[in-house]
Structure 1
Amino acid sequence: MPPRQPGEERTTQLPPVSRPTQREPELITHREPDDEFLMAGVADDDDDEYYDDEPELTEEEERRLRKKKIWKRVRIGAFVAIGLMILGPVVAVAIAYPLLDWPKPEEIAAEQNKTITLQYADGNEMTKITAPGENRTMLTYDEIPDNVKHAVLAAEDKNFYDNPGFDAKAIVRAVWIQATGGSSGGSGLTQQYIKKATRNEEATLTRKFTEVVKAFKMSNESDHNTILTAYLNTVYFGRGANGFKAASQVYYKKDMKDLTPSQAALIAAMIQTPSWSEDKEHSQKQWKYVMGQMLQKGWIDQAYYDSEQWPQPLSFAETQPKSLEGPRGLIVDQVQEALDAEQTGVSFEQAQKTGVTIQTTIDPKMQTAAEEAVDEIMIKGAQPEALKTSLTAIDPTTGAVRAYWGGRDGRGSFDYAKGTLQEPGSSFKAFDLVAALQDGKGLGTVYDGRSPRTFPGVSTPIRNSGNDNSCGKECPVRTAMIKSLNTVFYDMVVNDVGVPKTVKAAHQAGIPDEVNIGDGPKKLLVGEDGGTPNGGIALGGDQAVVRPFDMASAYATFAARGVYRAPFFILKITGPDGQVLYQHADKPISAFDPDQTKSQDIADNVTDVLKEIPTSSKIPCAGNRECAGKTGTHELSESAGQGAGLNSKAWMVGYTPSISASVWVGRNEGNQPIRDKSGANIFGSGVPGKIWQAFMNKALAGSQMEKFPKAKPLNQYNPPKPSNTPSNTPSNTPPANTPSNTPSEPTRPTKPSGEPCEGLLCPPTGPTNPSTSGKPPGRDPGDT
């Protein structure tokens, strides 16, 4: 074999070459550090294995690599989340769409306007409430006037014809507002129809999702005109009216075609909060908003907008179906008010649609006693027709309203128990006493009880009824309460305890901080500037205005020994299938002190003195039954020009351990004298006292004779021992703090019953000091 030439030897026999291993040229499958999107599916463990033969990375390189891996996972997660956000709802809607159906207006209308049955506390039927427009016919689109269409769209969804059943922008905006702590809805008119028709208003994502799907499906299967018609046939407008046709009757007693744009706007404005339909301030505000929206959309012109005033609707009494005549009709109103305010969790609208049975707190025996007592004194007693009255009776052990007499004209008429604010006069002194007991004073604490007395900042002296000086310079609080001495309580509140503490005591007893009455919410027991009232409140005048109903509740707190229970009218609500939808639960509150024992002692000390007053006022309860209470009068203001010493309001508020009752007597005009059939001035023990006495005797006849618990003496319970100096100052001798030039004052004659006038300023019948001037504290500047 010829010899091989160099280079022809077999390569397998070549000796190994010692040199570093080189990486192969990068293929398309090889990984570049920045090519993460193509390698998104490669596991991190593979990455680590791949680099096993690489030179060891520096710390900075490892940190950068970890950062890239983290961001890679974040981006992948973001891509997945965005995909789910886009595809998830689409898939959910696709699944839900064929399974959900929107409620048909004919079916909804058939479920509305069911009868509500009211029962007395003993389970016997009181009456039935039927809705306006019962058995109504369904409207067609062509029957709906443009005024009505425009008003409703302006109120609820002005872009209704431009959206697919829901307003996406409005929903997003509502979510953002709620997420940032605000309150807003995002429902368009179609969604609102679904919500109202299904009676499901839970604030849940599930409810909102199904609502949107149903609204979308309804828009696909019907046109906008059909949806608007369905909405106007079924939505609730307040006053018991479902559908705009019924609403036009209960607000204006007009057919829809006869409504002005302004009237249609007011009715449409009630859709959002129908329970506030009787709140004038709220109604005016919402009406103005709807009118503004109609102007913005060109549905009314600027001239019409500028010329229109709030179109006041007819009174509730004129438009409501009569379900119960006479005084008991106002009980029906109170039940509806409680439902509209959703105090029970069952709205009036829901009650109508369900056809519930409502067991009220009204005791038939006591209700009859209230009606007979009023008729006995007012009708059979031939009292002047101009005199108005109210009577409320509350069970102190529960807060249940057992009898309610707010007027005799029936449902929807003016309510003199909860619809009026009046000065309580001396019946407010019970709250003065609570504040004094809380402040360390007692029934034996003494004050200067002489009359008249001057006080700093008050130009006219404060006087006792009949200028009574019988209690003298060292007058115990107990005696001052029984005699109702103005000088003692004014001194005690203004110079000693303080007005704020008295206001607080009244609120603790049961006088609300705020009531919704007449033109809207009104704060009680506040000054003209919204702050602390002046000293006249000590005598139940000036800014001391209350509802007669609330005085019964506040005195019930004394009867319950310092435990406050909110008054209520509804005991239980039952569905047509017997299911209990609501049951009242007792919620006692220690009124005058967090320590119930201390609160009890305060209330018992108040009762200890008030139980002497019915007898001293010659209106005791029958059979020596223990009763406690306080009379009160409010004098006619100077501006009335009717003469000194005449009264414009008179009260009797009293209780036993089982019932508290408040009676008020006044006139519609307010600042006018109240005189009985003989023309005599009316005091607390007169007409109101006699109504109260008659009621208590009738209501409690045959019941157990109850005694008030013995009071635990608080603070200075007994007056100090008398000094050697005579305690009484003759009425014709000027007190030490009275100007020496004050002439002697004759004593004003009292009523035959012996009851003093108890007014805030009780001047004598003779001439007064001509040098005195200015508005006396506690005098009412006008009618409230």
Structure 2
Amino acid sequence: MLVPVHQSLPREPELLTHREDEVELEPFYDEDEYDYELSEEEAKAVRRKKLWRRVRRTTYVALGLMLLAPVVAFAIAYQVVEVPNPEEVAAGQSKVISIRYSDGSEMARIALGDANRTLVEYEDIPDSIKHAVFAAEDPTFESNLGFDMRAIARAVWYQATGRSSGGSGLTQQYVKEATDQSDATLTRKFNEMVAAYKMSEQQEKPDILTAYLNTVYFGRGAYGVKTAAKAYFGIDDLQQVTPSQAAVLAGMIQSPSRSEEQAYVEERWNYVMDQQLRFNWIDSAYRQAETLPERVSVGEQSGLSGPRLHIRKQVLDEMARVGWDQEKVQKIGVTVHTTIDPKMQQSAEDAVAEVLNGQPPDLRTSLSAVDPASGAVRAYYAGSDGVGQDYARDTIQEAGSSFKPFDLVAALQNGKGLGSTYDGRSPKSFDIGTDEPLVIRNASDPRNTCGERCPVRKAMEMSLNTVFYEMVLEIGTQPVADAAFAAGIPRTVQLTGRPEDKLLVNKETGGAPNIGIALGGGEAQVRPFDMASAYATFAARGVHHEPFFVSKITKDDGEAIYQHVDVSRVAFDSDPVKSQDIADNVTEALKPVLKHSKIECAGGRDCAGKTGTHELPDDASQNSKAWMVGYTPTLSASVWIGKDAGNVALQDADGDPIFGSGLPGQIWKKFMDNALAGTESGKFPKAKPMGQYENPRPVVTTTKSTNPSRDREPEPDEDNNSSAPPTSSTTTPTTTRPPRPCTGLVCPTTPTTTPTSDEEEPGGPGNNIRPPGGG
């Protein structure tokens, strides 16, 4: 008889002294309890039952651990973490930052001092500041447990998906500030959350808010709201801070390093004002009536003023880029060793002051000087007002003829040489596929002395536009842009208040730039600082070194926490020797330019460089920008002059147009002579010939051609070693002048003929007919 599967009769009562363990009855017994063989379906059912039983038990255990583990971890962390003391935190934020010149002498000290670290009481904080800070950072502060679970969950999700996010309420932000922990990890977030909860349990909300506002960083070197009110608005009494001004202060908490970016300040102010309106802390009438409050000039405790404040900003910005921003280093105290040479910096300031003395006050200028061997910035003059516009690194301008060396680099890369010839006569018509031929005119050589077979080296010396225009038409505009990038012009720049700019590209298509780049017009827009860096690549014989301001950062005990590492590359060719040859050939072409422009370096020192102007679009007789960029074997410098208004006439005190060889050239020469006085006078190496290197034999021309086609290269037997220009025409030269002004690069082709003026551009021969775009 088989034992029934299901028990039908109740069990007999058990004796109290004899109890067996009760077992759960299952619909089926285990396979080994059967004394008969189970069917296949019954065996499967038994296995499924056992499998799911294990799964359920494992799940219960896992869920239990998941629920219990955070509780245990939270409990342990609660006992371990400590709530930072606000007074101790404030004391740790007052360390000194010493900024030094390259010779070790002190440039500036950034020391907040006791006066700037006055701690406020809760009663001193007006509602305008409280509400603005709540609106900007933590609207639920007064009711939450020290953290916002929704914000935490969002931060966890962003972390898991590789993005970054805030997620911290005011209490957590205080803990982060006090513990100086900023690593983007879930562990740090968890510890912050526990500490914030503990702080909320132990302290009242007013105490937490007071601690936060006494220690948070607002930018402008200001820790704490009292310091910030003084730094931004010159206000000592917090009760005088308006809701609108408070919105500026609160808006800076998120990214205090951007406190001087006008567009960002306005964006954050609008956000905080809108948040205050949303939570009924201001009314709509106030919101509509208010505009962005005016801020006072940057408070300066370092002793710097004028143009050297721009150096301070560049140093602090570079420190932030390498992971040592002002907020961080003020907590440990550091010495920042810069590359600025005090003698050269003084020479730059003196040169600008002397040359521009008595000139129109609306002229703006910059001077940047770079060591070619390392990229170290030796002098930096970005404007006379250190809290105003930076005219060296925060503006882009048409480079004019100072861009022509990059034309030459591209030509050398394409097999041309300094002796290659092009038609140097002016005016000259070019068929570029437009309805009317394009007419290009030279700003110098009115008698067409270089002729129809003009060597490139002579065209560079005289800055003949027809030659470089024809050259770039032949080799293409993209190789020119690539040569500029290789030399050191960045592909993109970020200017204050503007989206990222792509340089030297067609603004409509994003492709190769237009032909105007040949003469440094149109899309040949660059930062003046970058031109000094790019020309330094020529001086360094084809090796580009990334420019830098900070050589190292050390702690008080001398330990280096940051050391600059040279970032360099071979510029013009993958073969270092060829890159060197290209740079040397460019230098060979640029050496005669300074003598031609009458701005040679003193004492016979080897110098090379190029002047440049950008003319007004609607008046070819006036310039809107003027340049001089040049170098010795040990120093490269660029000088730019323009106006805030942009494309307006650039005139000197006598009302005459300003050319590159004029005021910019005089500033450059005075700076170079004084900065390098007493230093060894190095020599440029002799260039190794590339392509057609020697000039052709002089020829006599009797007529002037406007044929747009290329003249043939001279045959080898036509070459000689003479560098003299071709003899001039035997006929009286004339110029072809359009009946209406040129627009852009296109000039009408219906000419009238008039005798050429003998008027000379300052510093060299010229005429009163100038090319559209660059000069």
* Residue number in structure 2 paired with 1:492: 471
* Residue number in structure 2 paired with 1:403: 379
Structure 2 CA distance for aligned equivalents of residues 597 and 666 of structure 1 = 38
Give secondary structure in 2 for the equivalent of 1:187. coil
1:617–1:107 distance in 2 versus 1, CA, 3 Å = same
Stretch moving more, 77-86 or 52-61: 52-61
Q: CA deviation digits over 1:715-735, x for unaligned, max 9? A: 444567788977965542769
* Residue number in structure 2 paired with 1:248: 229
Stretch moving more, 469-478 or 170-179: 469-478
Report the alpha carbon displacement of residue 440 of structure 1 after superposing the two structures with TM: 4.3
Q: 1:126 aligns with which of 100, 103, 107?
A: 107
Are 2:316 and 1:336 aligned?
Answer: yes
Q: CA deviation digits over 1:655-688, x for unaligned, max 9? A: 1232111112334444444444555433222222
* Residue number in structure 1 paired with 2:244: 262
* Residue number in structure 2 paired with 1:778: 773
* Residue number in structure 2 paired with 1:750: 760
Query: TM-score scaled by structure 1?
Result: 0.84
Structure 1 CA distance for aligned equivalents of residues 45 and 569 of structure 2 = 66
Q: What amino acid maps onto 2:753 in structure 1?
A: P
- Gaps in structure 1 of 5+ consecutive residues: 1-18, 36-46, 765-775
* Residue number in structure 1 paired with 2:724: none
Report the alpha carbon displacement of residue 79 of structure 1 after superposing the two structures with TM: 2.3
After TM superposition, list the pairs within 5 Å mapping 1:756-775 onto structure 2.
Answer: 756=766, 763=769
1:586–1:279 distance in 2 versus 1, CA, 3 Å = same
Q: 1:365 aligns with which of 343, 346, 367?
A: 343
Report the alpha carbon displacement of residue 446 of structure 1 after superposing the two structures with TM: 3.3
Are 2:659 and 1:706 aligned?
Answer: no
Contact 2:404 2:518 in 1 (8 A): yes
Are 2:210 and 1:200 aligned?
Answer: no
Q: What amino acid maps onto 2:579 in structure 1?
A: S
Stretch moving more, 176-185 or 454-463: 454-463
Contact 1:393 1:662 in 2 (8 A): yes
Contact 1:393 1:404 in 2 (8 A): yes
Q: CA deviation digits over 1:511-566, x for unaligned, max 9? A: 23333434234413445547355433322223333222121111112222232222
Q: CA deviation digits over 1:451-479, x for unaligned, max 9? A: 12234436763211046423233333322
CA-based RMSD of the aligned residues comes to 3.3
Q: What amino acid maps onto 1:394 in structure 2?
A: V
Give secondary structure in 2 for the equivalent of 1:354. coil
Give secondary structure in 1 for the equivalent of 2:59. helix
1:407–1:28 distance in 2 versus 1, CA, 3 Å = same
Q: 2:403 aligns with which of 402, 406, 428?
A: 428
1:450–1:73 distance in 2 versus 1, CA, 3 Å = farther
Structure 2 CA distance for aligned equivalents of residues 34 and 178 of structure 1 = 49
Structure 1 CA distance for aligned equivalents of residues 572 and 84 of structure 2 = 53
* Residue number in structure 2 paired with 1:662: 638
* Residue number in structure 2 paired with 1:87: 68
Structure 2 CA distance for aligned equivalents of residues 713 and 568 of structure 1 = 33
Structure 1 CA distance for aligned equivalents of residues 345 and 735 of structure 2 = 51
Are 2:163 and 1:174 aligned?
Answer: no
* Residue number in structure 1 paired with 2:135: 154
Structure 1 CA distance for aligned equivalents of residues 688 and 39 of structure 2 = 87
- Gaps in structure 2 of 5+ consecutive residues: 9-19, 706-728, 738-746
Stretch moving more, 24-33 or 692-701: 24-33
Query: TM-score scaled by structure 2?
Result: 0.85
1:89–1:560 distance in 2 versus 1, CA, 3 Å = same
* Residue number in structure 2 paired with 1:506: 484
Give secondary structure in 2 for the equivalent of 1:648. strand
Report the alpha carbon displacement of residue 194 of structure 1 after superposing the two structures with TM: 0.8
Are 2:489 and 1:479 aligned?
Answer: no
Report the alpha carbon displacement of residue 200 of structure 1 after superposing the two structures with TM: 0.9
Q: 2:304 aligns with which of 317, 324, 327?
A: 324
Structure 2 CA distance for aligned equivalents of residues 60 and 199 of structure 1 = 65
Give secondary structure in 2 for the equivalent of 1:663. strand
Q: What amino acid maps onto 1:537 in structure 2?
A: I
Report the alpha carbon displacement of residue 386 of structure 1 after superposing the two structures with TM: 4.3
Structure 1 CA distance for aligned equivalents of residues 757 and 113 of structure 2 = 60
After TM superposition, list the pairs within 5 Å mapping 1:37-436 onto structure 2.
Answer: 51=32, 54-56=35-37, 65-131=46-112, 134-254=115-235, 255-316=237-298, 319-321=299-301, 323-339=303-319, 342-379=320-357, 382-409=358-385, 411-436=386-411
Are 2:571 and 1:591 aligned?
Answer: yes
1:435–1:83 distance in 2 versus 1, CA, 3 Å = farther
Q: What amino acid maps onto 1:681 in structure 2?
A: P
Structure 2 CA distance for aligned equivalents of residues 127 and 686 of structure 1 = 35
Structure 2 CA distance for aligned equivalents of residues 260 and 120 of structure 1 = 41
Q: What amino acid maps onto 1:700 in structure 2?
A: L
Report the alpha carbon displacement of residue 630 of structure 1 after superposing the two structures with TM: 0.8
Structure 1 CA distance for aligned equivalents of residues 655 and 354 of structure 2 = 19
Are 2:579 and 1:579 aligned?
Answer: no
Report the alpha carbon displacement of residue 326 of structure 1 after superposing the two structures with TM: 4.1
Contact 1:132 1:246 in 2 (8 A): no
Q: What amino acid maps onto 2:268 in structure 1?
A: Q
1:777–1:223 distance in 2 versus 1, CA, 3 Å = farther
Structure 1 CA distance for aligned equivalents of residues 699 and 594 of structure 2 = 31
Stretch moving more, 718-727 or 63-72: 718-727
1:106–1:723 distance in 2 versus 1, CA, 3 Å = same
Q: What amino acid maps onto 1:282 in structure 2?
A: Y
Q: 1:617 aligns with which of 597, 609, 622?
A: 597
Give secondary structure in 2 for the equivalent of 1:662. strand
1:33–1:648 distance in 2 versus 1, CA, 3 Å = same
Q: What amino acid maps onto 2:192 in structure 1?
A: E
Stretch moving more, 725-734 or 389-398: 725-734
Structure 2 CA distance for aligned equivalents of residues 496 and 66 of structure 1 = 83
Q: CA deviation digits over 1:267-286, x for unaligned, max 9? A: 21111111112222222222
Structure 2 CA distance for aligned equivalents of residues 132 and 549 of structure 1 = 35
State which structure, 1 or 2, has the greater radius of gyration over its C-alpha atoms. Answer: 1
Report the alpha carbon displacement of residue 345 of structure 1 after superposing the two structures with TM: 1.1
1:153–1:597 distance in 2 versus 1, CA, 3 Å = farther
Structure 2 CA distance for aligned equivalents of residues 240 and 535 of structure 1 = 47
Give secondary structure in 2 for the equivalent of 1:645. strand
Contact 1:555 1:660 in 2 (8 A): yes
* Residue number in structure 2 paired with 1:681: 657
Q: What amino acid maps onto 1:577 in structure 2?
A: D
Structure 2 CA distance for aligned equivalents of residues 633 and 132 of structure 1 = 48
Structure 1 CA distance for aligned equivalents of residues 79 and 534 of structure 2 = 58
Structure 2 CA distance for aligned equivalents of residues 273 and 24 of structure 1 = 74
Q: What amino acid maps onto 2:327 in structure 1?
A: E
Structure 2 CA distance for aligned equivalents of residues 569 and 738 of structure 1 = 49
Structure 1 CA distance for aligned equivalents of residues 748 and 425 of structure 2 = 10
Q: CA deviation digits over 1:559-599, x for unaligned, max 9? A: 22232222211111112233222111111133334454443
Are 2:609 and 1:632 aligned?
Answer: no
Report the alpha carbon displacement of residue 394 of structure 1 after superposing the two structures with TM: 0.7
Report the alpha carbon displacement of residue 434 of structure 1 after superposing the two structures with TM: 2.5
1:294–1:375 distance in 2 versus 1, CA, 3 Å = closer
Report the alpha carbon displacement of residue 141 of structure 1 after superposing the two structures with TM: 1.6
Structure 1 CA distance for aligned equivalents of residues 360 and 282 of structure 2 = 51
Percent of pairs with identical residues: 53
Contact 2:426 2:735 in 1 (8 A): no
Q: What amino acid maps onto 2:332 in structure 1?
A: T
Structure 1 CA distance for aligned equivalents of residues 79 and 115 of structure 2 = 34
Q: 1:732 aligns with which of 705, 717, 734?
A: 734
